[in-house]
Structure 1
């Protein structure tokens, strides 16, 4: 995925200022695609130059933020990108290489790092489950809401898998017979 398409997706959902977009990005797409606020602002300028978005005239007064909205060409690009064929991204997880290295050279103190990551995965899972409770359970199951929920469920499953792997790794690392 590319950052431009992530931003186009956010803007098709709701026109907003760059700072609002960065904040919304952190609370939604940012869970699956990281970008700094600087990267977002740079990309907004490129998207505007490509005529995929436009900045609406700023409201009068000091400190007023420019609002951005998607243009028809941006919607067309987003549709093209959605339909594009792309192979799955290969798994690149440094922890898996660390586990292999620990298997090859023996104990090297990896358990502490895994426990730290386990706490991080649990915290993220808790956030995802709160979002699920707040935004999806007991709500009208429209097509849009079901697709958004599917994305969230993928995040929940990923965190549950990471927790299961961490738990098993800690059991193996703590087993003196292993």
Structure 2
């Protein structure tokens, strides 16, 4: 995935200023795609230069914010990107290589890192379940909300898998 397409997606959902987009990004897309606020602002400028988004004149007064909206060319690009054929991304995690090194070297104390990661995955899982209870309690949601829920469900399943895997890894490593 690319940051431009993540931002186009956010703008299709609702126009907003750079700071509003960064905040929305932090509360949703950032759970599976990381970007700094500075990267977001730079990318908005590139999207505008490409003719995919337009910034509306800044409001008068202090702390003026330019609001961005997606243009027809941006929608066209987003639709093109959504339909791109792409193979699943292979797992690329240095922990897997470190485990192989631990197996070859003998016990290295890597279990401490797995305990640390287990707590991170438990926290993430708790946050995702809170979001689900708060935002997706209504089973009669629109198609859009159901698709958004699918994204959250994938995060819940992934974090659940990492919690279980970490517990098993700790058993194997003797913790």
Corresponding residue for residue 163 of structure 1: 163
In 1, Cα distance between equivalents of 2:174 and 2:100: 16
In 1, Cα distance between equivalents of 2:123 and 2:141: 27
Shift of 1:139: 4.6
In 1, Cα distance between equivalents of 2:26 and 2:169: 30
Corresponding residue for residue 67 of structure 1: 67
Deviations 1:122-169 (A, max 9, x none): 000000000000111225321101100000000000001111110001
Corresponding residue for residue 76 of structure 1: 76
Shift of 1:97: 1.2
Deviations 1:43-90 (A, max 9, x none): 000000001001011111121111101011100100111111111112
1:17-166 equivalent positions in 2, closer than 5 A: 17-166=17-166
Mark the runs of 5 or more structure 2 residues left unpaired by the alignment: none
Give the secondary structure class of the aligned counterpart of 2:131: helix
Give the secondary structure class of the aligned counterpart of 1:108: coil
Mark the runs of 5 or more structure 1 residues left unpaired by the alignment: none
Corresponding residue for residue 173 of structure 2: 173
Give the secondary structure class of the aligned counterpart of 1:68: strand
In 2, Cα distance between equivalents of 1:95 and 1:32: 18
RMSD between aligned alpha carbons? 1.0
In 2, Cα distance between equivalents of 1:95 and 1:166: 11
Name segments (4+ residues, structure 1) moved above 2 Å: 138-141
In 1, Cα distance between equivalents of 2:139 and 2:169: 38
Aligned residues: 175
TM-score, normalised via structure 2 length: 0.97
